[in-house]
C-alpha cells in the first residue's frame, strides 16, 4: 500500500511540474511589482517585471439611476428677527472689486446666472448699509481655490468637511481694514437657484425654493455678509437671520435681511 501511495504522489508532482513549465507564475515569496499601483479601468494590461503575464481588469459598475429634478416650492416663510448681528472686526473698503469664476458654477445653477446672483447678493447688503459702497465686477477668473493674490473671488470649488461655503478674510486687526476676501462654495453639494425676480409674491406672499437642495443666492448672501464685516451666530434667537451660522435645504429666506441683519451692518457703517 505504501508503494502504491508513492506512485500516486510521483504522478501528481510530474503533472504540476509540466503545468508550471507552460504557464508561468510568480515564485513563492516573489512580490508582484505591479500590485503597488493597479489600474482601475477595465482592460488587459502588461505586468511590470513579468513580461509573460497579463493583467485583466473587470470593473463592476453600478447602474446609473435617474432622479427627477427638484420641484419649486412656494409659500415658504420669511420671518423677521430683531436679534442684531455682531461686528467681526473689519470693514469692506469703498470701491471693492471682485472676480467671478462662472465656469465653476454647477450646471443646475447655470454659469450665466452667477453675475446676477452675486450682484443681487451684494446689493441687499449695500442697500441696508445706506448705499455706502461701490462694488465692481472686475471680470472672470479661473481660480477655484482661495489664495492671497490681490483678487477677491467668488467660485465653486473644494471646501472642508460639511461646509456649504467658506469665506477667507485677509485683514489688518489694528485698523479693521480688509486686504482681500475670497468665497468658495462647496461643489460637492447639489445646488439650484430660485430667482427671486420670478416669484409671484402677490400670490404666495413669501418665498420659493427648490425642494431638498441648497439655493445658491441664499447661501452666497450669507457668505457676503462676512465680506461686509458681520459675524456668524448660532443661538436660537438668530435662527431667522441671514447671518445664522447654519444653512438649510429648501430655503431662500436668507436672500432678504431681517431687522437684526440691517441693524448689524448699519452699526458698522454709520
44-65 pLDDT, tens digit each? 888 898 898 888 888 777 777 6
What pLDDT does 57 receive? Answer: 82
Domains in the chain (CATH in brackets) are 30-61 (no CATH), 72-269 (3.40.390.10)
R_g of the chain, CA atoms, integer Å:
30
Which stretches within the chain are classed as H helix? Answer: 2-22, 114-129, 201-204, 216-227, 259-269
The CA–CA distances, whole Å, from 14 to 9, 24, 47, 92, 169 equal 9, 16, 28, 85, 76
Q: Are 218 and 249 in contact (CB under 8 A)?
A: no
DSSP 3-state of 197? helix
192-248 pLDDT, tens digit each? 999 999 987 666 668 999 999 999 999 999 999 999 999 999 999 999 999 999 999
What pLDDT does 6 receive? Answer: 46
Q: How far apart are CA 100 and CA 144, in angstroms?
A: 10
What pLDDT does 32 receive? Answer: 44
75-89 pLDDT, tens digit each? 899 999 999 999 999
Counting residues of the chain whose pLDDT is more than 90, the rounded percentage is 67
Amino acid at each position: 500500500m505504501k508503494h502504491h501511495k508513492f506512485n500516486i504522489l510521483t504522478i501528481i508532482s510530474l503533472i504540476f511540474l509540466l503545468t508550471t513549465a507552460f504557464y508561468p507564475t510568480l515564485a513563492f515569496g516573489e512580490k508582484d511589482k505591479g500590485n503597488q499601483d493597479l489600474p482601475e479601468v477595465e482592460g488587459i494590461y502588461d505586468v511590470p517585471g513579468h513580461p509573460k503575464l497579463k493583467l485583466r481588469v473587470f470593473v463592476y459598475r453600478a447602474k446609473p439611476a435617474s432622479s427627477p429634478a427638484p420641484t419649486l416650492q412656494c409659500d415658504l416663510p420669511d420671518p423677521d428677527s430683531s436679534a442684531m448681528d455682531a461686528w467681526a472686526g473689519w470693514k469692506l473698503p469703498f470701491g471693492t472689486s471682485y472676480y467671478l469664476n462662472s465656469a465653476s458654477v454647477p450646471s443646475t445653477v447655470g454659469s450665466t446666472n452667477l453675475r446676477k446672483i452675486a450682484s443681487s447678493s451684494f446689493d441687499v447688503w449695500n442697500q441696508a448699509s445706506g448705499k455706502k459702497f461701490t462694488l465692481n465686477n472686475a471680470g472672470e477668473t479661473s481660480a477655484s481655490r482661495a489664495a492671497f493674490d490681490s483678487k477677491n473671488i467668488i467660485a465653486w470649488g473644494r471646501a472642508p468637511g460639511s461646509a456649504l461655503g467658506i469665506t477667507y478674510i485677509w485683514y489688518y486687526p489694528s485698523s479693521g481694514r480688509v486686504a482681500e476676501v475670497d468665497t468658495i462654495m462647496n461643489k460637492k453639494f447639489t445646488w439650484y437657484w430660485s430667482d427671486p425676480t420670478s416669484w409671484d409674491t402677490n400670490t404666495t406672499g413669501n418665498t420659493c425654493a427648490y425642494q431638498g437642495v441648497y439655493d445658491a443666492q441664499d447661501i452666497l448672501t450669507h457668505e457676503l455678509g462676512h465680506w461686509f464685516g458681520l459675524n456668524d451666530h448660532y443661538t436660537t434667537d438668530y435662527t431667522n437671520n441671514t447671518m445664522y451660522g447654519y444653512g438649510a435645504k429648501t430655503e431662500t429666506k436668507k436672500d432678504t435681511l431681517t431687522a437684526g441683519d440691517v441693524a448689524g451692518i448699519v452699526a458698522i457703517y454709520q
